[in-house]
């Protein structure tokens, strides 16, 4: 039968010599997982720190303070992030999305475009009424839905002529070598 579907199933097994080792490894992994061994306590929990480390005066359990250079670098990064330039960039991004400053914005445009689909449901004639709000003329919408393409004229004729001429030019160059 031509055009039928053929299904191929492939299975793979480990070598017979490997099986006992793999099975034992998976059993050990399962028992370690079920025993909670894959979730070690967080550093600072009882039993995870030496007495010397516990005796240190730190900002919090298991934490050490920053040196002056680190503090200065973080303060500069914070100052920049909270400064005028990032605020202006955020404002511009919001205006581009929502509109403002004389710009229409992407979000209002998108909402308006999506509204066409909702409006089509309420048009007289049901889904075919949708064609009335699209930029097609005459029977173009129906032709598009049917898959009709006019290969003999219009823009398709221009496009095909261009492609044929390009192919002729390239092929003639190949055979001139």
Do residue 115 and residue 129 come from a single domain?
Answer: yes
The vertex-35 CA angle with 32 and 41, nearest 5°, equals 95
pTM score of the predicted model: 0.28
Residue 87 counted as domain residue: no
Do residue 119 and residue 141 come from a single domain?
Answer: yes
Do residue 126 and residue 141 come from a single domain?
Answer: yes
Q: Phi/psi at 63 (nearest 5 deg)? A: -110, 145
CA 150, chain centre distance (Å): 37
Residue 58 counted as domain residue: no
- Domain range for 120: 104-146
Share of the chain above pLDDT 70, in %: 69
For the chain, the domain total comes to: 2
- Tokens 């080792």, residue located: 21
Do residue 108 and residue 121 come from a single domain?
Answer: yes
3-state secondary structure 39-52: CCCCECECCCCCHH
Read off the tokens for 58.
Answer: 């730190």
* pLDDT tens column, 76-117: 999 999 999 999 998 888 888 887 777 777 777 777 777 766
Residue 25 counted as domain residue: no
* pLDDT tens column, 135-156: 666 677 777 777 776 666 666 6
Of 18-22, 45-49, 83-87, 160-164, where does mean pLDDT reach its minimum?
45-49
């Amino acid at each position: 039968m031509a055009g039928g579907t053929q299904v191929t199933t492939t299975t793979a097994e480990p070598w017979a010599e490997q099986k006992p080792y793999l099975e034992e490894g998976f059993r050990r992994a399962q028992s370690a997982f079920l025993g909670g061994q894959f979730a070690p306590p967080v550093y600072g929990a009882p039993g995870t720190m030496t007495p010397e480390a516990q005796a240190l005066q730190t900002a919090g359990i298991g934490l050490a303070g920053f040196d002056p250079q680190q503090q200065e670098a973080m303060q500069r990064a914070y100052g920049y992030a909270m400064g005028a330039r990032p605020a202006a960039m955020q404002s511009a991004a919001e205006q581009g999305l929502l509109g403002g400053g004389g710009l229409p914005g992407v979000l209002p445009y998108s909402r308006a475009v999506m509204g066409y689909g909702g409006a089509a449901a309420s048009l007289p004639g049901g889904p075919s009424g949708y064609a009335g709000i699209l930029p097609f003329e005459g029977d173009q919408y129906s032709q598009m839905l049917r898959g009709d393409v006019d290969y003999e004229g219009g823009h398709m004729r221009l496009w095909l002529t261009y492609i044929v001429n390009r192919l002729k030019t390239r092929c003639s160059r190949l055979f001139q070598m």
